[in-house]
Amino acid sequence: MKRTDAPLAFAITSKGDDTSNALAQKMKTYLLDFDLRCDEEEPDLVISVGGDGTLLYAFHRYCHRLDKTAFVGVHTGHLGFYADWVPEELEKLVIAIAKTPYQVVEYPLLEVTIRYLNGGSEAKYLALNECTVKCVSGTLVMDVEIRGDLFERFRGDGLCISTPTGSTAYNKALGGAILHPSLEAIQVTEMASINNRVFRTIGSPLVLPAHHTCLLKPVNHVDFQITIDHLSLLHKDVKSIQCRVADEKVRFARFRPFPFWRRVRDSFIAD
Ligand code: NAP
């Protein structure tokens, strides 16, 4: 439960289109009328107005203070997994933020550590949805180690390592399972693996628990196109890519129950 004597500090991120901007402005005015404080640098609550993509941006903007900031999403398009309030509920949400203590739910994140050949440097990232690894040109060839043991030599278009909340995004398009976000796990899915009499991969998505690390080791190429959520970067001279469940968690402000499986049904099945 969040509520102290100090007025709640909020920040609003907008998708940037006219509808989202107008909604964000209206919300800001209402929240200020309730004597809440707007603080773009150190918000207790970040309200994302747009879609799931907008919440991904907001997450990375405030990634350095995940233990102090909670997120809530209003969608201005179709129902999202992270953005589950509709514009018609704006007043209801504002009152809920201003008047009621809110519950915080925590979901697992993916930690990605990229180590480089030159000088032993490394870069660490947190992903809310997933990390994908592809070759700049040609087939991706990677040794996949799980918990220190060689599992397989992967050949194909790429690999996707996702969080439970990211399992409904790219992972789902790759035939991965939808994981309930209460599971502390990551999922490894293949992109068009080569499978014939010579080359063999498992062919099924793998779900790894929090204490199992997945290490990807390049075999022939060392330059890779790596995505962390919406962020895509070319990484050169890569020695290894380590993926595991992060110690950090993302915190969402919950003002009403919205069960995960109902959200899945509403997004993918219901008319
Ligand atoms: P984008 O190409 O503009 O949007 C990709 C779509 O994924 C949007 O419809 C977005 O919803 C949706 N999405 C994002 N996170 C989701 C989640 N956790 N569950 C269900 N749907 C989700 O790219 P972007 O806005 O920068 O977002 C980057 C994300 O796109 C990546 O993290 C990846 O998961 C996803 N992606 C998916 C595919 C695929 O399905 N084949 C391919 C590449 C990337 P909104 O419209 O509400 O924003």
Give the residue among 20, 248, 29, 22 at the shortest CA–CA distance from 10: 29
Average pLDDT over residues 86-114: 94
Question: Ligand 1 centroid to 141 CA: how many Å?
Answer: 26
Q: Which amino acid is at 113?
A: T
Q: What is the pLDDT of residue 80?
A: 84
Question: Ligand 1 centroid to 54 CA: how many Å?
Answer: 10
Predicted confidence band of residue 79 (pLDDT cuts 50, 70, 90): confident
Distance CA 182, CA 55 (A): 19
Average pLDDT over residues 214-238: 97
Residue 229 CA: nearest ligand 1 atom is: 32
Average pLDDT over residues 264-268: 93
Q: pTM higher than 0.75, yes or no?
A: yes
Question: Ligand 1 centroid to 166 CA: how many Å?
Answer: 9
Q: What is the pLDDT of residue 119?
A: 80
Residues placed in the known binding site for NAD(+): 52-53, 129-130, 155, 157, 192
59 C-beta neighbours (distance < 10 Å), count: 24
Residue 183 pLDDT exceeds 70? yes
- For all residues of the chain together, what is the average pLDDT? 95
The domain defined by 109-247 carries CATH number 3.40.228.10: no
Average pLDDT over residues 105-117: 98
Distance CA 104, CA 122 (A): 32
The domains of the chain are located at 9-102+255-268, 109-247
pLDDT tens digit string along 14-70?
Answer: 999 999 999 999 999 999 999 999 999 999 999 999 999 999 999 999 999 999 999
Residue 1 pLDDT exceeds 60? no
Residue to substitute in 49, 159, 170 for testing ligand 1 pocket (most ligand atoms within 8 angstroms of CB): 170
Task: Report the CATH architecture of 9-102+255-268.
Answer: 3-Layer(aba) Sandwich (3.40)
Percent of the chain at pLDDT > 90 equals: 89
For the chain, the C-alpha Rg in angstroms (whole number) is: 20
pLDDT tens digit string along 122-151?
Answer: 999 999 999 999 999 999 999 999 999 999
Protein residue whose Cα sits closest to atom 38 of ligand 1: 170
- Residue 30 tokens read as 């209402």
Predicted confidence band of residue 169 (pLDDT cuts 50, 70, 90): very high
